Amino acid sequence: MKNTAPAEKLPAPVHIGIIMDGNGRWAVNRGLVRTQGHLEGLKAAKRITKAASELGVKYITLYAFSTENWKRASEEVDFIMGLIKQYLRSEFDFSKRNHIRVRFTGNMEGLPVDIQKEITETIKQTAEFDGMQVVLAINYGGRDEIIRALKKFIQTAEKKHEDITENDIHRFLDNPDIPDPDLIIRSAGEYRTSNFLLWEGAYSEIYVSQKLWPDWEKSDLETAIENYQKRERRFGAETGNKASGF
3-state secondary structure of 47: helix
The residue count for binding ligand FPP (CB under 6 A) is: 19
CA distance 148 to 44: 31
Binding residue (CB under 6 A) for ligand FPP from 16, 18, 35, 42: 42
Q: Least distance (Å) from ligand FPP to the CB of residue 1?
A: 47
3-state secondary structure of 18: strand
Helices (H), the chain: 23-29, 34-54, 74-90, 92-98, 113-126, 142-156, 166-170, 218-229
Contact flag: residue 41 with ligand FPP (CB under 6 A)? yes
Contact flag: residue 185 with ligand FPP (CB under 6 A)? no
Q: Measured on CA atoms in the order 142, 146, 151, 152, is the torsion positive or negative?
A: positive
Catalytic residue selected from 69, 98, 107, 227: 69
Cβ neighbours, 10 Å, residue 14 = 15
Residues 105-164 that bind ligand FPP (CB under 6 A): 136
Q: Is 21 a catalytic residue?
A: yes
Q: Least distance (Å) from ligand FPP to the CB of residue 227?
A: 22
Q: Is 180 a catalytic residue?
A: no
CA angle 98, 99, 100 (to 5 degrees): 90
Q: Which is nearer to ligand FPP, 29 or 241 (CB)?
A: 29
Contact flag: residue 64 with ligand FPP (CB under 6 A)? yes
Contact flag: residue 60 with ligand FPP (CB under 6 A)? no
Residue type, 227: N
Q: Which is nearer to ligand FPP, 13 or 106 (CB)?
A: 106
Binding residue (CB under 6 A) for ligand FPP from 10, 12, 14, 25: 25
Catalytic residue selected from 3, 21, 23, 180: 21
Cβ neighbours, 10 Å, residue 203 = 15
Residues 6+ apart with CB under 8 A from 105: 61, 135, 136, 137, 138, 140, 145, 174, 175
Binding residue (CB under 6 A) for ligand FPP from 84, 132, 197, 221: 84
Q: What angle in degrees, to the nearest 10, is found between the helix axes of 113-126 and 74-90? A: 20
Contact flag: residue 52 with ligand FPP (CB under 6 A)? no
Contact flag: residue 81 with ligand FPP (CB under 6 A)? no
Alpha-carbon distances of 82 from 7, 67, 103, 108, 125, rounded to whole Å: 47, 17, 19, 16, 20
Q: Which is nearer to ligand FPP, 80 or 183 (CB)?
A: 80
Residues found near ligand FPP in the complex (CB under 6 A): 20-25, 38, 41-42, 45, 62, 64, 69, 80, 83-84, 87, 136, 188
- Active-site positions read 21, 69
